[in-house]
Structures are given as C-alpha cells and as structure tokens.
Amino acid sequence: MPTPVLLAEAVSRRYRNGRGVGPVSLRVEGGEVLALVGPNGSGKTTLVRCLGTRSPHQSGELLWFGKPDPRRARGRLGVVFDATAHVDELSGEENLQFFARVRGGASTEPLLRDAELTEVAGEPISSYSYGMRRRLLLAEALLGDPELLILDEPTLGLDVVGRRWLADTLAERRRRGLVAVVSTNDTEFVEAVATRVGFLIDGLLVQDAPLHQLLASVGGLREIHLSCRAGVDADLLRRVAGVERVAEVEGGFTVLATRRDGLLADVLACIGELDRKLVDLSVREPGLADCFLRLTGRSLDG
Amino acid sequence: MAERLPAAVAQSARRAGPGLPGGLWRLELRAALARRRALAIKLLFPLVLALPLALTGAPQFFAAMLLTVLIAMVGTVGTGVSLTRSRGAGWLDRLAVLPLAPWRVGLEVFLASWLLDCLQATLMILVLELAQRADPLTVVSTWLLALGTLAFSGALGLAVATLTDNAGEAMLLLAVVLAPMLFLSGLFTGVPAVGPRYWVAQLLPFSYLQNGFQLVLHGNPPDGAPGQFLWAAGVFLLVGGAAAAALGRPLLARGA
C-alpha cells in the first residue's frame, strides 16, 4: 500500500466554545483532489489550518508524506488561507520573488503569465484589486511545484477567467501527481476539480466519497428553489408527495424531490396565494449542493 | 493571456535564481523605505525632540533621560506594533507555513525593524553632535550604545508582539513593561551606588545610554566611559539578536 501524501487519524482541534473540528480521519493519496464542503462554522477552516501545518492539532495523528513533522513537510507544501496579506508597498513581482527565493529559486515567469498578472507585475500590490491579490496568492502557493496543495476558499474573489485558470492548473498539475485539499462551498468549482468530496458538519466528517459517486446518488432528483415572503409553511412543503428534503435558506426554501411529474404543481398549490407569497422560483438538475442537502439534511447556504 | 513578459520582469525573474532562502529582512526593509510619508515622519520625530534639547541648554540629566526614553520607545514601539499589525493582516500566518525556521523569521523581522530604528537614532545623534561638538570617541561609543539599546528594545517589542493581537494592546503592554525598566535603570532618580537597584541597572542598557547622552551633552554622569559603552553596546546587540531568534517560535505560534 503506498504511503498516503496526507493521513489524518482522529485529528481534533476544538476551541473553548466547543467549535472547531474533530475527531476527523482522512487519507489522501497521489493524484487526488479532496474537496471539503460544509456550511459556515462546520470546521473547514480549522481543519485546513491543521492540514496546512499552521495550527497544531490537539489529539490524533497527522502525517504529511508519512511523517508527523510539519516543519519538514513545509518545503513540499503550498498553502493558501483566506487572508491575502502581502507587502503592499512592493510590486506583485517583488512579492512573488520573495516566495520564489524561499522555495529555492523557483521560476516566477510562467506563473505571472498564467495568472494574467504580467501587465501589473511591476505595480505595487496596494494598487491591485482583490481578485488580483487572490490570483497572486495562488501563484505564490504554486511556486516550486509543491506536492501537496492546501487551499482555503480558493475561488474567493476570482472572476470567471481566474476560476478557469485555477481549475485548469489544478487539473494539469494533478496529472503530474499533485495532491490537493480544497476547502470551499463553491460546488460548481468542486464539481470541476475534485476527485473526492468530504462533507463536514459541526466539525465532523460525515461523508467522504468519490465525487462521481455522490453525484450519482442525486441522479433523477430535482431541485426547486423558492424565494418567498413570510407565510409559507415548510412542514406543508415536506408533506408534498415525492419531496425528500426541505431546507430553509435566506429568503426562501430549497426543495429536493424524487418525483418529477406534477411535482411543481403540487408545490405551488401547497404555497397558495402565489401572487402574494411567491417572489421567484427556479428548477434545476441537482448537483453537489443537493447531495449535501440530501445526505445531511442541511443546506450549504446556512 | 499575455505572450511576452516585459523585459524588467524577465530580468528580475532571472535574478531570483537559486540562492539562500529568506531575504525576509530585505523585503520588510524595502517596504518600510517605500512608505515615504511614514518614513519622513519617523525620521523627523526624534529630531523634533532632540533639537530643542541640544540647542537650548536643557539640564543634561533630564535631556539625557528624554533622549534615552525616546530611543527605548523607538525600538520597542517600532517592532512591537508593526509585528502586531502584520499578524492582524495575516502576514505572519503566511510566513508560518513557509519552509523557514521560526528563529530565522524572528531574527529577520527584528533585523529589518532594527535597521530602520538605527537610521532614526543615527540622524538624531548626528544632530546632537553638530549642536554640541562633543568628543568623537564619546559620540561614536554613545551611538553604538544607542544601537545596542535599540536591539534590546526591539527584542522587547518582539516579546510583546508574542502576547498581543492588536496595536493598541501592544502599545499599552509596552508601556507597562518599559516604564518599570526605565525607573529601575535610574532614568528618573539616578542609580544608587549600591544595592539591588544598582545591579538591576547594570543589566539594562538604559542607564548606560543615559550616561552616554550626558557626556555628549557635556554633562558629568556619575558613571560611564566610552570603553564601557562599547562593551555594553556589544553585549546588548548580542542579547537583542539572540532574544529575537528565540522569540521567533512564540511569535509565529500566536494566532495558530
């Protein structure tokens, strides 16, 4: 059995208020991209900070490349947390150069070009938009071809082009053996890059399965998103035949149902007084967010 | 996607080349030098205090006391507050996951801050010398002593940054830590010739520096000679640097 790139056995880090993560066990091997998905406060960031060698775990065992030594692992790791801290007075290129030097003189040219920062490379970071800072942050993590990439909310602030660049880069590097752990609620991005998905709820990994398997589990289902004013009873919606889950989200409900024919009419009838109560309605094929809802009973929106 | 890199970028990218890891102190120092307005204020601020003291013939004991307090504040506040801000912005988080030894991070951030502080102190002492025309050996030894004091104070600021999460808290804690040290160094009352306070004062750089400034201002301190200042400067430089390296780990551990 090959040594996993990342192995967590009952890893736990809890704060005094009980929040945090663990015990969590996971195993990530070569060529895998594991996405950690969960609502706010589910422990994603705490777990990613432990996996990214930033925060020590309180119990359990955490091995990077088969060794429990975070200091030795850092030379083979690329890490991105939510903060976009740079030396703002200096240029993007100068910042990147610093990280390149730390990584043993890695080449910065291709990354500047691929992240579409070449034109602004000589300008101070203080003049960068948030999206540009995020792209630079990701480029810095990719310097020196890390073997393991730990990314917390990597698509935050990225535009469509930036997201595509990141997805393509991860796919291309994965083919060369890169392993990545990505914490995000951007399910569209997860569906584009992940090979495995872990669902976190209240600091516990409640599901850990291949992406295709999870998506197959919601095949044939239908998702209805209702935006409505007050006065709609969730329990009535739950009693509609074929409705499997109803999650209350901001300004409405997400309904996940197995039945297709006649479903919409039944749901609308259940709401009643549509002119007064219903603001918007959308129906779509289910994806990872619906899978999360179906398996955990909780919505990723909160 | 752009096809060609501008020549300057390409050249600089080649310059990075293979080399020793780090260069953090250079990065931090260049950032500080790039903040033109903040730098101008930083350099002017000690002069605003030093010039009137040097030109108006203020009593040497009190003038030296103020100059010593100023050096102590420059060293502690500069390092302590800037590091606390760096933590708040997430910069220390980023440094903590790089393949850099914590002692190295501690030493390099300390070094950048110390070099800037040295610039401030050097300007101030230069102005004092121009106004007072003191003996060159006295001035040079006092200058070196000021650099040693800045190293000690900088390490103190770094220590405070390992305990605080915001700039206001850091300022308050610095005042709480520094005030007793300054008192025990005899800055306000002089140092007794015998007893525990005498020995405590010998272990801190501030009494030496106050004596040095008194000499520069043509006063008659009860103690101190250029040779002693040189020795003390070396010791406090080493103590400051060693403490900064040792504090690298707790500095990065906070907020983990």
Residues A227 and A152 in one domain: no
Angstrom distance (rounded) from CA A259 to CA A244:
9
- Let me know if residue A300 belongs to a domain: no
pLDDT at B22: 54
Assess if residue A94 is contained within a domain. Answer: yes
If asked whether residues A102 and A225 sit together in one domain, one would say: no
Q: Among the three residues A196, A216, A236, which one is the final residue of a domain in this structure?
A: A216
Asked if residue A196 and residue A48 are part of one domain, the reply reads: yes
With CA atoms as reference, the chain A residue closest to B93 would be A54
Residue B15 has pLDDT above 70, yes or no: no
ipTM: 0.83
The shortest CB-CB distance from A79 to any of B13, B21, B97 is to B97
Residue contact B21–A52, C-beta within 8 A = no
Residues A64, A211: one domain?
Answer: yes
Residue B68, burial from CB neighbour count under 10 angstroms (0-12, 13-18, 19+): buried
pLDDT digits (tens, 9 = 90+) for B212-245: 999 998 887 777 788 888 999 999 999 999 999 9
Which residues in chain A have Cβ-Cβ distances shorter than 8 Å to B91? 83, 85-87
Please give the full DSSP string across B88-105, using - where no structure is assigned: HHTHHHHHHTSS--HHHH
With CB atoms and an 8 Å threshold, state whether A90 touches B27.
yes
The 10s digit of each residue's pLDDT in A242-301 is: 888 888 888 888 888 886 678 888 888 888 877 778 889 988 888 888 889 888 888 887
Contact A87 B28 (CB under 8 A): yes
- Sheet strand arrangement including A204-210: A77-80, A148-152, A179-183, A33-37, A196-201, A204-210
Query: Mean of the pLDDT values across residues B101-117?
Result: 95
Give the CATH number of the domain where residue A81 resides. Answer: 3.40.50.300
Interface of B with A in 94-123 (CB under 8 A): 94, 96-101
Q: Is residue A164 part of a domain?
A: yes
Contacts for B39 with CB less than 8 Å, ≥ 6 apart: B32, B33
Q: Identify whether A260 is part of a domain.
A: yes
A31 with A87, same domain: the answer is yes
**What pLDDT, on a 0 to 100 scale, did the predictor assign at position B120?**
94
Q: CA B159 to CA B142: how far, in whole Å? A: 25
Average pLDDT of the residues in B86-113? 94
Do residue A203 and residue A265 come from a single domain?
A: no
Q: What pLDDT is stored for residue A302 in this prediction?
A: 60
Does residue A46 sit at the B interface (CB-CB below 8 Å)?
no
Identify the pLDDT of residue A267. Answer: 87
Q: Is the pLDDT of residue A54 over 90?
A: yes
In a domain, A106, yes or no: yes
Please answer whether residues A167 and A136 qualify as being in contact, where contact means their C-beta atoms are separated by less than 8 angstroms: no
Average pLDDT, chain B: 88
Return the pLDDT at B1.
37
**Most B CBs within 10 Å: which of A58, A76, A102, as the mutation test of the B interface?**
A102
Q: Is residue A228 part of a domain?
A: yes
- The reply to whether A209 and A227 lie within a common domain is no
Report the percentage of chain B scoring pLDDT > 90: 70
Contacts of B28 in chain A (CB under 8 A): 87
Q: Give kind and range of the element (H or E) at residue B112.
A: helix B102-132
Residue B16 has pLDDT above 50, yes or no: no
| Residues A239, A186 share a domain | no
- Do A50 and A74 meet the contact criterion of CB atoms below 8 Å apart? no
Q: How confident is the model at residue B90 (pLDDT cuts 50, 70, 90)?
A: very high
Q: Are residues A247 and A212 in the same domain?
A: no
Q: Are residues A32 and A122 in the same domain?
A: yes
pLDDT given at position B178? 95
pLDDT of res. B219: 83
Domain that holds residue A44: 6-216
pLDDT digits (tens, 9 = 90+) for B154-164: 999 999 999 99
* Contact across the interface for B23 and A98, Cβ inside 8 Å: yes
pLDDT of residue B9: 39
Mean pLDDT of A127-146: 94
The A residues from 116 to 175 touching B (CB cutoff 8 Å) are 116, 118-119, 121-122, 124
Window 122-181 of B: residues touching A by CB (8 A cutoff) are none
- For chain A, how many structural domains are there in total? 2
Of B113, B110, B109, B143, the residue nearest B126 (C-alpha)? B143
Average pLDDT for A54-78: 95
According to the model, what pLDDT value does residue A18 have? 85
Q: Tell me: pLDDT of B2 over 50.
A: no
What confidence tens digit (pLDDT) does each residue in A185-234 have? 999 999 999 999 999 999 999 999 999 888 888 877 788 888 988 778 88
A173 and A235, same domain (yes or no)? no
**How close B254 comes to chain A (CA, Å)?**
10
The per-residue pLDDT for B12 is 40
Provide the pLDDT confidence category of residue A239 given band limits of 50, 70 and 90.
Answer: confident
Residue reference for tokens 């110390």: B114
Is residue B170 pLDDT above 70, yes or no?
Answer: yes
| Structure confidence at residue B255 (pLDDT) | 84
Same domain as A274, residue A141: no
Kindly report the CATH number assigned to the domain that includes residue A230.
3.30.70.920
More confident call, A287 vs B16: A287
